[in-house]
Chains A and B, each alone.
Chain A
Amino acid sequence: MKLSKNFTNPLAANNPVIVQILGICSALAVTVKLEPALVMGLSVTFVTAFSNLVMSLLRNGLPSRIRIIVQLVVIATLVIVVDQFLRAYMYDVSKQLSVYVGLIITNCIVMGRVEAFALGNKPWDSFVDGLANGLGYAFILVLVAFFRELFGSGTLFGFDVLARFGYTNNALMLFPPMALIIIGCIIWVHRSINKDLQEK
């Protein structure tokens, strides 16, 4: 596959969240505000990109029987690096994200890309694939958080946007069910554009 296609495909046509329906749990939990959603998206991007890179480098010398445990070690190490980094430099956001940074380990996208792509492709391709999938995830998170923060709190990145027009906050937007509905609506729009994705 060509490198550019490799990069653009996970962003839209084969998006991990809205096409493969992976990583939904964190997409519901951290999208109340834009800032944590963005940080979460970038953290996952970092982990997918580098776990793909490391696993791709290891792939030829790795017995298939122990690959899962090696993947876990690599991913867990990267997640701990991210977690410590956030605690050191972005303490407030880290507090808001709470356990969800640690739970990146269980994010299906990370191990899914390692298993499905990195173990069978060259390091550079794998790195780009991980990067693109992470960004595809981050894009959906930011999109959901944009609507939830705008209509739920009337703000964007904490700046007052709608409240000055006398907007009444929609509290349902702050509840997780609404995140699911918004993701559903994004899938709806996405599939009506990409007709080949529609089930018969």
Chain B
Amino acid sequence: MGLRKFVDKIKPTFSEGGKLSFLHSTFEGFETFLFVPNTTTSKGAHIRDCNDIKRVMITVVVALLPALLFGMYNIGYQAGIEGIWPAFWFGLLEMLPMIIVSYVVGLSIEFAFAQKRKHEINEGFLVTGLLIPMVMPVSVPLWIVALSTAFAVVIGKEVFGGTGMNVFNPALLARAFAFFAYTPQMSGEAVWYADAKTGATALEQLATTGGMEWSVLDAFIGLIPGSAGETSTAAILIGAAILLFTGVASWRIMLSVFVGGLAFGYLFDAVGLTTYPAYYHLLVGGFAFGAVFMATDPVTSAQTNCGKWIYGFMVGALAVLIRVINPAYPEGMMLSILFMNALAPLIDYFVVERNIARRKKLIKNVK
């Protein structure tokens, strides 16, 4: 283990009293990136798990990869490039600058705050930094990506105290910032293509004409225009399987988001507000992506099991409600998740209160 020896050798330089002790957090960040820390918690009740936050985040990144890789191919496919590899290569070159900008901007801010506050560097941004380019339209200018990332990290996360303290999902906050601040660059018909082509997304077509030009299979596989991460329901389901198998994401939330979306989809179908089948909602736009990767964010979702059901159901239901009822927003997933993020603590509060009341009643009955 030559690397371990090297890390141990340079450690005193970065520790207290060392020459580069002001870079303590940065050093620690890289050390725990390379090696699982061997320190254990010394006091208090803690959940014992060999998985630390870094491994959890890496798992999510792995789960995101199928959707990301397919999204890259799809960018090329939508631009009309023949062949799998040329299309993928084209998409890779479109996506890579966005991913680099998002990571560089976000990580520099995170590192700066961690150094200033003498915190350890947390790995939450590994996921956020990849999610941000995946939910942006492919043609969005890089400075918008940089600005939204900075906004999300500073206003969405650091002001609340950093990773684990945020109220809103940072990646969605970045998208919301870009969406409201630079609406022309973030929505409409031209932004979803890497070349000069324009065309309405499946969601816009459903909202305006009640049908879409793609088949259900195309929508499921993901050969429709949209942000890189969101188009392929199939690739997202692979990611969902990884998240559920490793136990990283809550199956209650994931399932209840789909249930909520379907329930409201069928409801609107039954009363005649929509002319397309309810399951279309799960295939087009960011519904599946939001349900699997955004709504399940363990920090911003509800914490109690009963709360998770309510929270998930409301996310799905609100998303479909916004899609169908509000003509200004063909996509409702972002707003519904952010809204439920804000309500999640309230849901938890009532679930806990109800449980306390129930148990008090039990005590009374025993007496």
* Chain A residues packing against B (C-beta within 8 Å): 168, 170-173, 175, 181, 184, 188
Contacts and interface: CB of A to CB of B under 8 A. Distances in A.
Nearest to B178: A172
Contact of A171 (B155, B159, B182): B182
Interface string B171-198: 0000001001111010000000000000
Closest 5 CB pairs of A and B: A172-B181, A170-B181, A172-B180, A171-B181, A181-B155
A184 B155 CA distance: 10
Contacts of A181: 155
Interface residues of B, number: 8
Nearest to B141: A168
Contacts of A168: 182, 185
A184 B177 contact: no
Interface of B: 155, 159, 177, 180-183, 185
B177 A172 contact: yes
A173 B177 CA distance: 10
Contacts of A172: 177, 180-181
Contact of B182 (A170, A175, A184, A188): A170
A168 B144 CA distance: 10
A184 B159 contact: yes
Contacts of B183: 171
Contacts of B159: 184, 188
A9 to B, nearest CB: 27
A172 B181 CA distance: 4
Main secondary structure of the interface of A (DSSP, over half): helix
A78 to B, nearest CB: 38
A175 B155 CA distance: 16
16 contacts: A168-B182, A168-B185, A170-B181, A170-B182, A171-B180, A171-B181, A171-B182, A171-B183, A172-B177, A172-B180, A172-B181, A173-B181, A175-B180, A181-B155, A184-B159, A188-B159
Nearest to B180: A172
B341 to A, nearest CB: 15
Nearest to B176: A172
Contacts of B180: 171-172, 175
Given A170-B181, A172-B177, 13 more contacts: A168-B185, A170-B182, A171-B180, A171-B181, A171-B182, A171-B183, A172-B180, A172-B181, A173-B181, A175-B180, A181-B155, A184-B159, A188-B159
- Interface hub of A171, A172, A181 (most chain B Cβ within 10 A): A172
Of A168, A181, A184, the most chain B CB neighbours within 10 A belong to: A168
Nearest to B179: A172
A181 B185 CA distance: 23
Contacts of A171: 180-183
Contacts of A188: 159
Contacts of B181: 170-173
Nearest to A171: B181
A173 B181 CA distance: 7
A184 B177 CA distance: 17
A188 B183 CA distance: 29
A161 to B, nearest CB: 18
A181 B159 CA distance: 11
B155, B177, B180, B185 — which one has the most chain A CB atoms within 10 A of its CB?
A: B180
A38 to B, nearest CB: 25
Contacts of A170: 181-182
Contacts of B155: 181
Contacts of B185: 168
A172 B182 CA distance: 8
Contacts of B182: 168, 170-171
A175 B185 CA distance: 18
A171 B176 CA distance: 12
Nearest to A177: B180
B120 to A, nearest CB: 22
Contacts of A184: 159
Contacts of A173: 181
B181 to A, nearest CB: 4
A172 to B, nearest CB: 4
A42 to B, nearest CB: 30
Nearest to A181: B155
B152 to A, nearest CB: 12
A181 B152 CA distance: 12
A171 B159 CA distance: 23
A186 B177 CA distance: 20
Nearest to A184: B159
A181 B173 CA distance: 13
B188 to A, nearest CB: 14
B148 to A, nearest CB: 10
Nearest to A151: B181
Among A171, A173, A184, the most chain B Cβ lie within 10 Å of the Cβ of: A171
